[in-house]
Structure 1
Amino acid sequence: MASVVTQTSFWILTALASGRRHGYEILQETADASQGRVSLKVATLYAALDRLEADGLIRPDGEEIVAGRARRYFVITDDGVTRLSAEVELMERSTRAARAQLAIHKFALVPDAGAAW
């Protein structure tokens, strides 16, 4: 089985699951989708994009020049969708297990307790 994706990779794949994006859009969508919990730096983003591309989970999908700057676009691959889906399933199973343990010990769930994911 493939290794668990990092939090950064999870959010990048999540952003790309809704379609083709360039770097700045990925940064924005990642922050929005994580409700501000994830704020990637540009260097972190592009290092992660390089790793995801090397792993075959995303691929470049064109480039354009806007206001004198190159804008590189990326899309998620079928393998990326499979990996993201597996990660979501793992997170859901983990959440169910944690909820069950909390219920056994009669701990109340604290909504939005600052979870990293």
Structure 2
Amino acid sequence: MQNVSVLSGGRVELGAGTLYGAINTLLKKRWIMPWETNKSSRKKEYVITDLGKGTVDREMKRLTELLENSKKIVGGETHAEKSV
């Protein structure tokens, strides 16, 4: 939860219920799996799976395309202007 806050510059505050719900969803989809490091610790750690990495890669490509298209629109560049 603290890492999300730091990464977002304090813009996103993640509650425990939201975090645990997200973790359970990621586990069900097999995008992450438990990582056994120190059984004496209460801290749970997870590692991303190959399936999860593929999903992240596709989402990053989708978001990159969305950002590039947004920049074109905000910059006023249209398909018709490119053709001229």
User: Map of 1:22-101 to 2, 5 A cutoff?
Assistant: 27-62=1-36, 64-66=39-41, 70-101=42-73
Larger helix percent: 2
- Percent identity over the alignment is 25
Which SS does the other structure have where 2:75 is aligned? helix
Structure with greater Cα Rg = 2
CA RMSD across the alignment: 1.7
* Farther off after superposition, 55-64 or 44-53: 55-64
Query: TM-score under structure 1 normalisation?
Result: 0.58
**Unaligned 5+ residue runs, structure 2?**
78-84
- Paired with 1:40 and 1:65, the residues of 2 have a C-alpha distance of 26
User: How many pairs does the alignment contain?
Assistant: 76
Q: CA–CA distance in 2 between the matches of 1:47 and 1:65?
A: 24
Instruction: With the length of structure 2 as denominator, give the TM-score of the two structures.
Output: 0.79
| Alpha-carbon displacement from aligned partner over 1:70-109 (angstroms, at most 9, x marks no partner) | 211111111111111111111110001011011117xxxx
**Structure having greater relative contact order (Cα 8 Å, sep ≥ 6):** 1
